[in-house]
Amino acid sequence: MAQRSVVLVTGVGRRVGIGAGIAAQLARDGWDVATSHWAPYDERMPWGPQPDDPEHVHAGLRAAGARTVAVAADLADPAAPARLFETVEEALGAVTALVMCHCESVDSSILDTTVESFDRHMAVNARATWLLVAEFSRRLRVEPGTGRIVAITSDHYVHNLPYGASKGAMDRIVLAAARELQDQRITANVVNPGPVDTGWMDDAVREAALTPNPRGRLGTPQDTADLVAFLLSARGGWVNGQLLFSDGGWKA
């Protein structure tokens, strides 16, 4: 049996999340899947604690034939990315693809954002992305052209200042990797999935997101997972340095 390649998917704390959808699809596609999560973030969000979700996700990954490990990692800690890779390598072996779904996302505007909140958003969404990408590049030991990086972004910034600003910084970091890591022939792309209801929408937000979409529905984690799976495949190797919208035409 051929050895399965290893992908690290960050931000897989809830079974309904985009990260969980991506992890499940990659397991079905033949990847071994490592994930990271951080429960204190979920505890601060409207949906509240989801203590059983990481194991529920991993039961599904194992059922799909994947070796898997779940790692609790506070990516606001600058030492966390290196520790995360070390733990994953010990459990599963070298990582050949990095999919970043982690985020800090607390709604606030220009006039009411605190310095503490702004700094944490930048630490998790931007700085951790840089450190994860750098760690991935340093540790990559595969044939040039097979390494993959994908990050999940958003263009929600009005009344969402720290999230929007830090996601914008994240985009630039990942797109820079497409050129700066060219000696390793790593592809690096950003995916904007548009509005996906993973438990954060109320009825008003859901209606506002649904009305302008020409496809007549909201996005799902599976929609995003399908595109990410393609980008990580051999067939997706010619797509590089792109910010891709997978939103059903919501932004058209």
Q: How far apart are CA 23 and CA 29, in angstroms?
A: 10
Angle subtended at Cα 178 by Cα 173 and Cα 180, rounded to the nearest 5 degrees: 80
- First-to-final CA distance of the chain: 45
User: Looking up tokens 């996302």, which residue turns up?
Assistant: 105
Decide if 193 contacts 247 (C-beta within 8 A).
yes
Q: pTM value?
A: 0.94
Give tens-digit pLDDT for 164-221: 999 999 999 999 999 999 999 999 999 999 888 877 777 787 787 777 787 878 889 9
> What are φ and ψ of residue 36, in 5° steps?
-125, 155
Residue-by-residue pLDDT tens, the chain, 252 positions? 457 999 999 999 999 899 999 999 999 999 999 999 999 998 888 888 888 899 999 999 999 999 999 999 999 999 999 999 999 999 999 999 999 999 998 888 999 999 999 999 999 999 999 999 999 999 998 888 799 999 999 988 887 899 999 999 999 999 999 999 999 999 999 999 988 887 777 778 778 777 778 787 888 999 999 999 999 999 999 999 999 999 888 776
Listed residue (233, 223, 238, 78) closest to 152, CA to CA? 223
